[in-house]
Amino acid sequence: MIDLGQKAEKLYVQAYSDAEFQNPVPDNKFSALVNPATYNVSYKFEFDATQAPGTSGANMKFNRILPGDFHFDFLFDATGVVKDMSVLSLGIANPFEKPANVTEQIEAFKHKIIDYQSDKHRPYYLKIHWGELLFKGVLKQMDIEYKVFAPDGKPIRAIAKCQFAESIADVERAAEENRESPDITHERVFKGTDRIDLLTEKIYERDIHYINVASFNSLDSFRNIKTGSKIFFPPLAK
């Protein structure tokens, strides 16, 4: 059951100057006045669908995982209609303690989130925080739609549709990839339902190396491996 008396945790975006997200930019934290009801996260996978001549189909060979995308809309409002509400379908962008016009709100948002770093020759890296959500990336695209105007033509409501792209530091990415690489030694604890050939295939993507694995671990039998035994899978010879 939701505790209606619990204070809502606000979504916020923090700018960082480095790809490792170790150096937050002072005063470049942007908070949404109202939390979103929804947001979208998308993941894309790239496959090679090259088909041999004369065949009726193709084996979709995995190529790479593309960076994930996070989609979120910020609402900038100076109509006075939107107050502090518990839930809306949009985040209410309000970087000022006192009401400001929409143009000033958008400029403040751009300053905190997408300003160009002259010393780095690039915009900021960003972390999006909200509850269990922690998204690390960069602002890939922002489209601003002006919705409502005052009699003098000044915008008093606008929506910024933001698309963030996931960003992982090279050191972190390399460490993650190496943990699953067949070029390093892996260790597995053998379970009663395991089979040495299937474990070998999972790590090397081919089961033909199971004899080498058995020899490396001085196994007398493929079938009588004790549950709880540590099995080591060495790097493949180059």
Residue 197: CATH number of its domain: 3.10.350
Residue 143 has pLDDT above 90, yes or no: yes
Q: Which among 124, 150, 174 is the end of a domain? A: 174
Whether residue 165 sits in one domain with residue 188: no
Do 32 and 121 fall into the same domain?
Answer: yes
CA–CA distance, 128 with 137 (Å, rounded to integer): 8
Q: What is the CATH number for 92?
A: 2.40.30.200
Token readout for 143 is 């489209």
Placement of tokens 């959500």 in the chain:
133
6 has a pLDDT exceeding 60: no
pTM of the model: 0.60
For residue 3, tell me if it sits in a domain.
no
Instruction: Label residue 236 by pLDDT band (50, 70, 90).
Output: confident
Q: Are residues 137 and 73 in the same domain?
A: yes
128 in the same domain as 210: no
Residues 6+ away with beta carbon under 8 Å from 223: none
Kindly state whether residues 124 and 197 are assigned to the same domain. no
| Residue 16 belongs to a domain | yes
Residue indicated by tokens 């989130």: 113
Residue 126 tokens, joined: 């960003």
Tell me which of 153, 174, 195 is where a domain ends.
174
Residues 16 and 41 in one domain: yes
Q: Quick one: which of 209, 157, 154, 161 has its CA closest to 186? A: 209
pLDDT for position 118: 72
Total count of residues recorded for the chain: 238
Q: What average pLDDT does the chain have?
A: 78
129 part of a folded domain: yes
User: Is the pLDDT at 209 greater than 50, yes or no?
Assistant: yes
In a domain, 5, yes or no: no
Question: How many CB atoms within 10 Å of residue 234?
Answer: 15
Helix residue spans in the chain (DSSP H) = 102-113, 170-179, 196-204, 210-216
Residue 4 lies in a domain: no
How far apart CA 167 and CA 40 sit, in angstroms, is 17
pLDDT at 86: 41
The strand pair at 40-48 and 61-77 is best described as antiparallel
Q: Where are the beta strands (DSSP E) in 82-185?
A: 91-92, 116-117, 122-123, 125-130, 133-149, 155-166
Please tell me whether residues 110 and 29 are part of one structural domain.
yes
In which domain, by residue range, is 75 found? 12-174
Residue 238 covered by a domain: no
Alpha carbon distance 129, 127 (integer Å): 6
The total number of structural domains in the chain stands at: 2
Inter-residue contact 157 to 46 (CB < 8 Å)? no
Residues 32 and 117 in one domain: yes
Cα-based angle 119, 111, 155 (whole degrees, multiple of 5): 150
Higher pLDDT, 52 or 214: 214
Among 235, 135, 221, 145, smallest CA distance to 181 is for 235
Residue 174: other Cβ atoms inside 10 A: 12
- Using the 3D structure, point to which of 124, 143, 174 is the last residue of a domain: 174
The stretch 230-237 carries a mean pLDDT of: 79
Do 143 and 199 reside in the same domain of the chain?
A: no
Q: Is 142 exposed, middle or buried (0-12, 13-18, 19+ CB in 10 A)?
A: middle
pLDDT recorded at residue 1: 44
